Amino acid sequence: MTLTIVVILVVVLLLLVIGVNMIQQHKEKIEADRRAEMVRQRAIIEETEELLSYATKLPMSKAMLTVLHKRNNDALRAMLAVANDKGDAQRRMDDGENQLSTIEKGYQEPDENSFTFPDSDKLAVAYIQALKKLRLVLRSEHTRGRVDTTSYVNEEKRLDRLQLKISVENSLKRALAAKVLRQLGTARDMLEKAEQMLNNVPQPDDYTIQRLHDVARLNAEILAETRSATEAEVTKRREKESDDLDVLFQPKKKW
């Protein structure tokens, strides 16, 4: 009888230990999931806030700004649901809601034609990378049903057009700089790059047509300068050969 009681107690104790371990593992899993969710939402927030920082540099539309702020607020709301300290997330979400309300009421979209193109390769690359990220975010939000198809198509075209202009203007700037330095081969390469990008536009607009004319004009100038340089080199070489012949056949001096 005593042995039976001992066995029962041991079994009960083992079950308790197993039960406690299972509860502990479940708590640890919940905590790990919570932390993973916090990391995921924090990454979304950091990326979105980085893109929002370009709102003062790139001509963002009201629709694009709205998409970014809603994405940021959704991530903050998801973080708020799992955060232990809800104060900071709540404050940032309140600020985001206020900014979104301000944009929806009276945001004045900047004119694309007034956009100042970057004056350095580094800045141009940064702008293009930001535009690529914006397109990825836009596509992701559209896939999730948070952006309607009409807005998606319009914004995709807008971002694509802006990316094209930055790339073309940067190539033209580099071509002109190379032309001034008499690096005509580099200048031609930059013009060819710009021309290829412009020719890939399915529906050319006034900007595309004008820039193709500019590329053709610069190519003609470079070709003329190349010919001139070649002719000058030929003339110089002929003059040198003539001088050498004069020296060779000049009358010998008598000593």
Helix (H) or strand (E) holding 17: helix 2-52
Cβ partners under 8 Å of residue 63, min gap 6: 151, 154, 155
pLDDT for residue 196: 95
Report in angstroms the alpha-carbon separations of 38 from 46, 48, 52.
Answer: 12, 15, 21
For 147, list phi and psi in degrees, rounded to 5. -130, 130
Neighbours of 254 (CB within 10 A): 4
* pLDDT for 99: 87
Q: How is residue 27 written in tokens?
A: 């708590």
Cα distance between residue 66 and residue 30, in whole Å: 33
Can you list the positions of beta strands (E) in 103-146?
none
**Residue-wise pLDDT tens for the chain (255 aa)?**
677 777 777 777 888 888 888 888 888 888 888 888 888 999 999 999 999 999 889 999 999 999 999 999 999 888 888 877 777 778 888 888 888 888 888 888 888 888 888 888 899 999 999 999 999 999 999 999 999 999 999 999 999 999 999 999 999 999 999 988 888 889 999 999 999 999 999 888 999 999 999 999 999 988 888 886 665 555 565 555 455 445 444 555 544
Which amino acid belongs to residue 231? E
Return the H-helix or E-strand segment holding 240: helix 206-249
- Structure-block tokens of residue 100: 């979104």
Q: Cα separation of 234 and 63, whole Å?
A: 61
Write out the E strands in the chain: none
Nearest Cα to 51, choosing from 109, 149, 144, 129?
129
The reported pLDDT for the residue numbered 47 is 94
